Amino acid sequence: MNASIFNEVLGPIMIGPSSSHTAGPARIGKMGWQLLGEPVKKIVIRFDPAGSFAACYNSQGSDFGFVGGLLGIDPSDDRMRSALEIATQQGVQVSFLKEPLKEVVHPNQAEITLTGEHGRVVEFTAISTGGGMFEVVSYQGFSVSLKGDSYDLLLIGGAGLHGEVQACVQALQTCELTEGSSKSGKQVLVQLKLDREPLPELIRRLQALPTLGELVELGPVLPVVKRRDAQVPFCTAEEAAAYAGEHHLRPWELACIYEEAISGKSREEVFALMDHILEIMRDSAVRGVAGGYPQRGFLPPQTCKVAQNMKQPGAKVFDMGLLTKASLWAAATMEYDICMGRCVAAPTGGSCGVLPAAIISIGEDLGLSKEKVREGMLVAGLVGVFIDHGATFAAEICGCQAENGSASAMAAAGLVQLLDGSADEAFAAGSLALENILGLICDPVAGVGNIPCVSRNSMATVNAVLSANLVLSGFDPYIPLDQAISAMASVGRLMAEEHRCTGRGGLCTTTAGQCAEQYWQQCCAKT
């Protein structure tokens, strides 16, 4: 299904440090909390030794993310930071095991077994697909697809269940109906996906089906419930540019039209969602620059010190104009995220500083209104939709080009909107920004992000401004945005596993990187 700006691209609003390794697990946990349906008393989570989770589940917050979600805590809740302690206080047994999984389909894969206080046992497999998105791919041995963007009903029963459910549903409520793989040939699972809460009458009739053994009701985990019958006017940059030309639309209007179609929300509701995103982004940047929050990782937050040193008389720094504050905002937001601050994955936790810096900081320094800044962020979100459709935001699949590269492309397009550029110019700037960062690997030293993720956010911000300026001044990047996105996906497929957030390549393998890893593991052992 097509992406939503507020599901796949901008968000989640989360407690850091990582969207794929903290917020994704938290959302997986929240779905598991619903699947169990009673307070959890025992949690066993298994990671494949060769996967990304096994390499950095404790350094990037997957441990407290999973557990927090399984306790019913939202990714943005302050209690997420203390989820492991809360579990201990509630007498919940928690185990993380590194052992070969039966079938590995993604580097961020977990097999989870839950035992409830009344003895119910649930087993499911889930993957964190990048940017805080996830999918539960199996439940109690049956194939399922739970992504948190719909209302879902899972029904397990005898061989005739599918026909019974189909007859029941047709008369009451529109939905998508699929059948999971059979279990020993005796039982089947039927999954219903709905874009609104199931009618009480539907639930009553389903519960009365003669072959039904179990019915599980699941609510959405993501902010936008996608319309099952959504007809979006475009899915790619090429289609959007043509649509803009035909209907004489500005880039930000394209974003609104798309999101209204996929979500069924009014323009005012789209604006409200974006305004909330902007509020959290700005707050995280301001808090990051101010400093004073606890250190996490092998280095203390440095941006506050850098900002103060830049203001000293005779400071040895080059005048970068608007970029001075923007580059500080980018680094500070990333540091605040690493230290478990509340931020917005945009499109990921590892690139969360780029859009606040490029769109909000520069927009404010230009004296633009909140409405104009909102327009810029909407365009950034739309370019993120195209990237999601054509590639991925997951560094575990495509390296840092998918995180800071994507964020830089989104920011470049949004900056063009701030200066009232056209859709063609916005998409060209996005393409140029992506061209400039193509091939960037993901190698967070010690799995934390102090190095090189903080400074890469600043670099991606500068690249976005450079790309927007060049395009608005007549530079032709030649490669269309959709093709640049496709190239990024292709490069990711060719990228060595060691360079995709495994801690086994790039800066992680240097002598200094190994020392940082040893130090951080000692810190984790103490806590």
357 against 166, higher pLDDT: 357
Q: Is residue 72 domain-resident?
A: yes
pLDDT of the residue at 56 = 86
pLDDT of the residue at 134 = 97
Give the residue-averaged pLDDT of 349-366: 98
Q: 203 and 322 share a domain?
A: no
Looking at the predicted structure, is the pLDDT value of residue 32 above 80? yes
Give the residue-averaged pLDDT of 292-310: 95
Q: Is residue 436 domain-resident?
A: yes
Q: Say if CB 472 and CB 420 are below 8 A apart.
A: no
Looking at the predicted structure, is the pLDDT value of residue 175 above 90? no
Q: 152 and 251 share a domain?
A: no
The number of distinct structural domains making up the chain is 2
Q: How far is CA 312 from the centre of its chain?
A: 38
Residues 6+ apart with CB under 8 A from 347: 8, 9, 10, 19, 131, 384, 387, 388, 393, 403, 406, 407, 410
Give the residue-averaged pLDDT of 6-24: 97
CATH of residue 128: 3.30.1330.90
Q: 189 and 265 share a domain?
A: no
Looking at the predicted structure, is the pLDDT value of residue 139 above 60? yes
pTM for the whole structure: 0.95
pLDDT of the residue at 186 = 80
Q: 279 and 212 share a domain?
A: no
228 against 270, higher pLDDT: 270
pLDDT tier, 183 (very low <50, low <70, confident <90, very high otherwise):
low
Q: Is residue 103 domain-resident?
A: yes
Q: 208 and 262 share a domain?
A: no
**Coil, strand, or helix at residue 522?**
helix
Q: Is residue 125 domain-resident?
A: yes
Q: Give the domain extent around 38.
A: 5-218
Side by side, the strands of the sheet bearing 176-179 are 176-179, 188-194, 151-157, 212-218
Q: 287 and 421 share a domain?
A: yes
The predicted-structure confidence for 495-508, as pLDDT tens digits, reads as follows 999 999 999 999 99
Q: 254 and 136 share a domain?
A: no
Looking at the predicted structure, is the pLDDT value of residue 406 above 60? yes
Q: 119 and 214 share a domain?
A: yes
CATH of residue 386: 1.10.4100
CA 103 – CA 113 distance, rounded (Å): 16
Domain end residue (candidates: 218, 246, 280):
218
Q: 174 and 300 share a domain?
A: no
CA 267 – CA 260 distance, rounded (Å): 7
Q: 196 and 272 share a domain?
A: no
Q: 207 and 260 share a domain?
A: no
Q: Is residue 524 domain-resident?
A: no
Q: Is residue 445 domain-resident?
A: no
pLDDT of the residue at 181 = 59
Q: Is residue 230 domain-resident?
A: no
Looking at the predicted structure, is the pLDDT value of residue 521 above 70? yes
Side by side, the strands of the sheet bearing 93-98 are 93-98, 40-47, 109-116, 121-130, 133-139, 142-146
pLDDT tier, 180 (very low <50, low <70, confident <90, very high otherwise):
low
Q: 191 and 251 share a domain?
A: no
Q: Is residue 49 domain-resident?
A: yes
Q: What is the CA radius of gyration of the chain?
A: 23
